[in-house]
Amino acid sequence: MSDKKFRIVFAGTPEFAAESLAAILAADPTQSKFEIIAVYTQPDRPSGRGRKLTPSPVKAVALANNIGVNQPASFKEEGAIGALAWLQPDLMIVAAYGLILPKAVLDIPRLGCINIHASLLPRWRGAAPIQRAIQAGDDQTGITIMQMDVGLDTGDMLLKRAIPITAEDTGGILHDKLAKLGAEAIIDYLQQRLQGPLPAEPQNAALANYAHKLSKDESAINWHDSAASIARCVRAFNPWPVSYTQDQGERVRILAATALPSNSDKAPGTVIIREKNTIAIQCGENALSVELLQLPGSKPLTVNELINGGKPFLQANSQLG
C-alpha cells in the first residue's frame, strides 16, 4: 500500500454530519492514510432570538481543526464547480449536506462521491429516513455507505450497519444513535477502502420508500387514527415538529405517549380517563395514554404535574382536536 494519503473533501451541515467529520479528524495522523483537505457546508443561517448568523455544526468542527470551509449556496454559483475541481480530491464524503450534487460534481473526485445515509437502503430514501422509520413501525434501521449517482439515494450500497429501533426511541434519540453509528461506519469504510474497492451492491428499487421532509402541518394529531399509529408519530416527531392537539383553543404538545389496548364508546379525541397518573384519549382504534405534555409557555409536564398543578386542560369527557 502506498504512503500517499487519500485527499478527502467532506460535505455536510448538521450535527449528524459533524460527528462523522470529527471522527475522521480524530484518526491517528501517524496511522491514518486519509486527510480532510476541505469542508463544504451550507451558508450560515440566522438563529436564536437575535437572528444572528450562526455557522453549521460541520463548519464549527472544521474551523476548530483549521480546515478550510467552502459555503456555496448551490453548485450553480459561478466558479463553484471549478473551485472544487481545483482541490483535486480523491474522494468526497457527503452526509446530510442539504445541496444537490450535479453530475459535474460527482465526476470530480477520482474515487467518486460517497454518502453516509441514515437508513438501511433501499428502505428509506429522502430527507427524513430516521423519523419515517419510527413512524412506519420499523423494527430496525441503520447506516448505509453508498456510492452516489445522479438519483436520489439510488446509488450502489458499499457497507451497512444495522441497529434495532426500540419502544423508547424518539426521533432525537435515534438520530443520536445513528450519528454515532455513521461515524463508526465511515471510519470502517475508509479503512477497508485503503485496501481496495468494496463490493458494490445495487439497490432493489421495488423495495424503496420515499422519506418525505418533515412538516409542521403533519404534526397535528388526527384522533381518528389508531392509538398505535399516533404513538409512533409522537415518538418520531420528538423533538421536531412535535405532535400536538387543540384543547380550549390552545395548542397542547404531546411529547410522550403509549397505546392502550382499550376502547370506549366515546368519539375519537375524547378524554376517557383523567386520574392521578393517567390521561387516556380515545382514538379511532384503542386509546392513547399521555405521559409527557407541554402547554403554551410552559415547561414539559408529567400527567401528575398537570393535575396537581390545577391546570384545566385535558379534562375528562372533553373533546380534543
**pLDDT given at position 143:** 98
**pLDDT given at position 30:** 55
The CA–CA distances, whole Å, from 170 to 47, 144, 163, 175, 228 equal: 24, 20, 14, 8, 14
Strand pairing report for 113-117 and 91-95 = parallel
Residues 159 and 201 in one domain: yes
Asked if the structure places residue 1 within a domain, the reply is no
Residues 161 and 196 in one domain: yes
Please tell me the pTM assigned to this model: 0.95
Look up the CATH number of the domain holding residue 301.
3.10.25.10
| CB distance 123 to 208 below 8 Å | yes
The CA–CA distances, whole Å, from 86 to 21, 42, 152, 213 equal: 22, 20, 26, 33
Residues 20 and 117 in one domain: yes
**pLDDT given at position 61:** 98
**pLDDT given at position 1:** 43
Residue ending a domain, choose from 211, 241, 271: 211
Helix axes 15-26, 171-193, angle to 10 degrees: 30
Asked if the structure places residue 314 within a domain, the reply is no
Determine the 3-state secondary structure of 115 from DSSP: strand
Residue ending a domain, choose from 159, 193, 211: 211
User: To which H or E segment does residue 47 belong?
Assistant: strand 45-47
The CA–CA distances, whole Å, from 247 to 79, 172, 253 equal: 54, 26, 10
The CA–CA distances, whole Å, from 80 to 94, 105, 110, 147 equal: 16, 9, 18, 22
Residue ending a domain, choose from 211, 241, 274: 211
Residues 240 and 173 in one domain: no
Look up the CATH number of the domain holding residue 23.
3.40.50.170
Print the domain residue range for 94: 6-211
Cross-strand bridge partners of residue 157: 146, 201
Residues 154 and 181 in one domain: yes
Total domains in the chain come to 2
Which parts of the chain register pLDDT below 70? Answer: 1-3, 28-32
Residues 177 and 231 in one domain: no
Asked if the structure places residue 46 within a domain, the reply is yes
Residues 262 and 160 in one domain: no
Q: Residues near 220 by Cβ (< 8 Å), separated by ≥ 6? A: 243, 244, 245, 246, 321
- Long-range (24+ apart) CB contacts under 8 A made by 51-58 are 56/13, 56/14, 56/18, 57/13, 57/14, 57/15, 57/17, 57/18, 58/10, 58/12, 58/13, 58/14, 58/17, 58/18, 58/21
At which residue does the C-alpha cell 388526527 appear? 222
